[in-house]
């Protein structure tokens, strides 16, 4: 029996920001370092899933490469043979298995998915693509093709994991043991730890998490921002009129957010707690984070594209073989192959 598989997606598009870096990217890199060897770690680029939201198709491939560079600059181990990076669309079995799963999935089953319900309520059903509706079927194919045991996802993906387990069990009961069921959310939280990433808050609206959806960009520190832009954003961060630095998210969310960032980047909160002026705290946070951005961008400039492309080629070859073996087993079971 082979190694248990851990599978997670590397974002294919969007300009990554500090929240992505601290909240997801670092934990994924750490997971690959920690579990690669004992487990097979599949880090795939969900490029097909990206089409469920508007993207700039003219620069999509460049965005994928740039995000992979960011992961490598953050420490993703390309030399570990048990860590695989591959593009979803380069392995046609993902799409082929998704269609088969579609045909055994009820319309009502997908209609009840919270993410689809929320988006259709906000935007109207006529503005929601079929891909958004069908997202869970493709996600299930991503997982089931490789006999995945663990998928590190947040609580917002619980329904999708439950659907994956249900559709796998449904086909297993009908056709025999086709799929390995991924662990339940409770089992996965126990394996990874319930808190799989940090929540970094917006600088302008600190009651909200840092997000690309902030159209102004003023509250978001992008990994592509210059150190000077980072400094100006932090110095302009929302505070309050209390007139004393305390760690209390209820009464001082902006100050508390700055204190969290200070700690995350190696500063001492006790140095500022109780101070009457906010300027020195902002200046210290700006110094630390702009320094991090400068160092990170230096690492990024030294990433070898040829090493990434070689890793993609080798991983896609190996993952194609694994995925095709599962797909063929399913095709035979449902009568598509002799």
Active site residues: 119, 209, 212
Contact present, 103 and 333 (Cβ < 8 Å): no
DSSP per residue, 298-315:
HHHHT--HHHHHHHHHHH
Instruction: Name the DSSP letter for residue 213.
Output: T
Structural contact between residues 337 and 325, judged by C-beta atoms closer than 8 angstroms: no
Closest listed residue to residue 151, CA positions, set 101, 109, 189, 102: 189
Q: How many C-beta atoms surround the C-beta of residue 36 within 10 A?
A: 21
CA proximity to 203, closest of 87, 285, 272: 285
Q: What is the DSSP letter of 201?
A: B
- Output the six-digit token pair for 185: 């959310």
The backbone region for 75, taken as left when phi is positive above 0, alpha when psi lies in -120 to 50, beta otherwise, is: left
Residue 88 DSSP symbol: G
């Amino acid at each position: 029996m082979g190694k248990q598989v851990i599978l997670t997606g590397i974002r294919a598009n969007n300009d990554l920001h500090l929240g992505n870096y601290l909240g997801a990217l670092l934990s994924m890199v750490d997971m690959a370092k920690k579990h690669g060897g004992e487990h097979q770690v599949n880090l795939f680029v969900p490029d097909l899933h990206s089409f469920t939201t508007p993207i700039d198709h003219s620069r999509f491939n460049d965005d994928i490469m740039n995000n992979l560079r960011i992961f490598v600059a953050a420490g993703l181990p390309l030399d570990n043979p048990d860590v695989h990076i591959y593009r979803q669309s380069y392995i046609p079995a993902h799409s082929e298995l998704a269609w088969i799963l579609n045909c055994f999935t009820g319309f009502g089953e997908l209609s009840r998915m919270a993410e689809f319900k929320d988006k259709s309520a906000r935007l109207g059903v006529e503005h929601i693509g079929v891909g958004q509706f069908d997202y869970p079927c493709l996600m299930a194919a991503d997982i089931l093709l490789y006999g995945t045991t663990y998928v590190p996802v947040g609580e917002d993906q619980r329904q999708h994991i439950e659907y994956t387990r249900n559709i796998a069990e449904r086909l297993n009961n009908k056709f025999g043991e086709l799929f390995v069921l991924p662990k339940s959310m409770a089992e996965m939280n126990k394996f990874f730890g319930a808190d799989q990433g940090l929540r970094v808050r917006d600088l302008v609206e600190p009651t909200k998490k840092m997000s690309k959806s902030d159209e102004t960009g003023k509250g978001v520190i992008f990994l592509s921002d210059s150190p000077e832009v980072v400094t100006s954003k932090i110095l302009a961060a929302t505070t309050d009129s209390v007139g004393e630095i305390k760690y209390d998210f209820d009464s001082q969310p902006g100050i508390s957010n700055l204190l969290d960032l200070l700690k995350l980047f190696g500063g001492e909160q006790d140095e500022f707690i109780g101070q009457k002026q906010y300027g020195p705290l902002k200046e210290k946070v700006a110094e630390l984070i702009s320094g991090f951005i400068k160092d990170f961008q230096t690492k990024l400039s030294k990433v070898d594209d040829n090493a990434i492309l070689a890793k993609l080629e080798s991983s896609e070859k190996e993952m194609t073989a694994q995925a095709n073996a599962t797909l063929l087993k399913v095709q035979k079971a449902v009568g598509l192959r002799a």
